[in-house]
Structure 1
Amino acid sequence: MFEVMLEKAHELDMPGIISWIRTRTDGEIIRTLLRLKRFNFDASKALPFLHEGGTIDITMLSSLISEPFETWGRAIEFSDFGKIIGSIDASGGYSDLILSLERVLDDCYMEKIAAGRYSPSAPENIPAYLWAKEMEIKNIRVITVSKRNKGDKDHLRRLMRHGYV
């Protein structure tokens, strides 16, 4: 999927969208690595689950699976994700960690693509609008499930994504 998206963006010569796709690719790789780490997956067998096309080398990323999550931010601090991952509290279990990572990544993707909102003719406005709708749907789903299960309001706030600003 990411390979095709990147190929189409290169054909259309849209630098903002290319950058967003590469950021999404890196983020999905990091999310996948954390899920694999949760299952004690072997780092040497993780490569088939990773996508080419991001800004960070996938062999370097695959080596992170054997490291504690607390060190991931320092290992990739040269990228946009170093500071983002470093801000996540890794004291909880994997479920909380994955939820926090997904929320932070979704917000990061929104910030990356929303830069085109200041130009009315920027091609980034289309994926930004679609991504914002995706975040609205996620928020509605989170609220609905939380209300149905009589969930904690503080936990609900942690799960909410930022909308299009």
Structure 2
Amino acid sequence: MAVSKTKYAYAVGRVRVLETRLLDKGKFDRMLEATSAGEVLKVLAETSYSSYLAELTGAYEFETILRKEMANVLADFEKMSPQPELVALIALSYDLHNLKVLFKNKYLGVENTDILFPAGAIPLHRLKYAVEDENFREFPEVLRRAGEQILDEFVVSRDPQLIDLYLDRALFELRLTSAQKARSGFLEGLFQRQVDLLNLNTFLRVKKMGRSKDFLKQALLPGGLIAGELLLELLDESLEELISRLSTTRYSAVSGEGIREWMDTGTATRLEKLSDDFITAYLQRGRHSPFGLEPLIGYLWAKQVEIKNIRLVMVGKINGLPTEAIRERLRNVYL
């Protein structure tokens, strides 16, 4: 159901204050110039992350503060949004991440509980119980169906890619359906673009593996703006043909530069950066809306990008990467 945009006035006012605390390019430049991960943390001590730093016993534990910050942001936004169920659509990605980890722990005999996210739209203890007891009845229909498909098919195929496939499909089906019900063209456009960019990445990986069109058809997510039929048609063509066919679309810059680097290096690093920057540019268009959902969703994305950039810098410093190698991986900041 649509909600009067004026109901967002208070929440947008809060966002304007929070935006002033986002890390700008200058802060990231200082982090890049730091000589070690410990020195990066000293820069973070001057920011909104300072309250978490006392809990750390060393730079290698930095991931703890990033997860806590994002969890706190999500909790605050669900409280202040007139439509918390739409904010929950963003948090849902962390639930799906947790489900992927829990399913793989269960079926592959691994123990990766340290990478579980502490807060999403569904409490972590409920996710653990559902996977352990193989009972998804209390979940939304789309997630219940995905969980049951994994239970039925993984025992036969033993293919961990099925876990990612069914959960990614469930995530975007739920997101797109909810955006349409809310009559939010803005949200629907966001999720459609995310589907397209994920499908481009999937296309490249499937092509590199030499898999069939049937495999690609199963792997592609529905609901994007790029027709799945186009990607299926191009699977047996050169990547230059893919670039040519996308050159007149909104994805021309992303596909041109990102796919060419893939062709040269065999990695999707540049494509993933350009994809994130593309979503940032889309969300920036709604940033100055005085009322409505757009500034809230834009801020949540900005925070996710900020945390991703901090992680890239910290990992780079810990592993002794050159400053320029780290810099070229950083995403554009939202402000």
- Report the 3-state secondary structure (helix = DSSP H, G, I; strand = E; otherwise coil) of the residue aligned with 2:205: helix
Cα offset for 1:154?
1.7
Give CA-to-partner distance per residue, 1:67-117, whole Å, 9 cap, x none.
Answer: 33333221123321123211334352212xx00100000000111122111
> Where has structure 1 moved over 6 Å in runs of 4 or more?
none
Match of 2:255 in 1: 85
Match of 2:187 in 1: 17
Question: Structure 2 stretches of 5 or more lacking a match?
Answer: 1-170
- 1:129 partner amino acid: Y
Using structure 2 for the length normalisation, give the TM-score.
0.46
1:44-55 maps to which residues of 2 (within 5 A)? 44-55=214-225
1:137 counterpart (300, 307, 310): 307
Q: Distance in 1 between matches of 2:281 and 2:235?
A: 27
The answer to which of 85-94 and 44-53 deviates more is 85-94
Question: Percent of pairs identical after alignment?
Answer: 27
Match of 1:158 in 2: 328
- 1:31 partner amino acid: N
Q: How many residues align?
A: 163
Query: Does the Cα contact within 8 Å between 2:192 and 2:224 map onto a contact in 1?
Result: yes
Bigger RCO of structures 1 and 2 (CA < 8 A, at least 6 apart):
2
Query: Does the Cα contact within 8 Å between 2:257 and 2:271 map onto a contact in 1?
Result: no
Q: Distance in 2 between matches of 1:16 and 1:109?
A: 12
Q: Distance in 2 between matches of 1:143 and 1:83?
A: 25
Using structure 1 for the length normalisation, give the TM-score.
0.90
Q: Distance in 2 between matches of 1:70 and 1:158?
A: 24
The answer to which of 42-51 and 145-154 deviates more is 42-51
1:94 counterpart (253, 257, 266): 266
CA distance 1:67–1:158, change in 2 (3 Å): farther
RMSD: 1.6
Higher gyration radius (CA): 2
Match of 1:66 in 2: 236
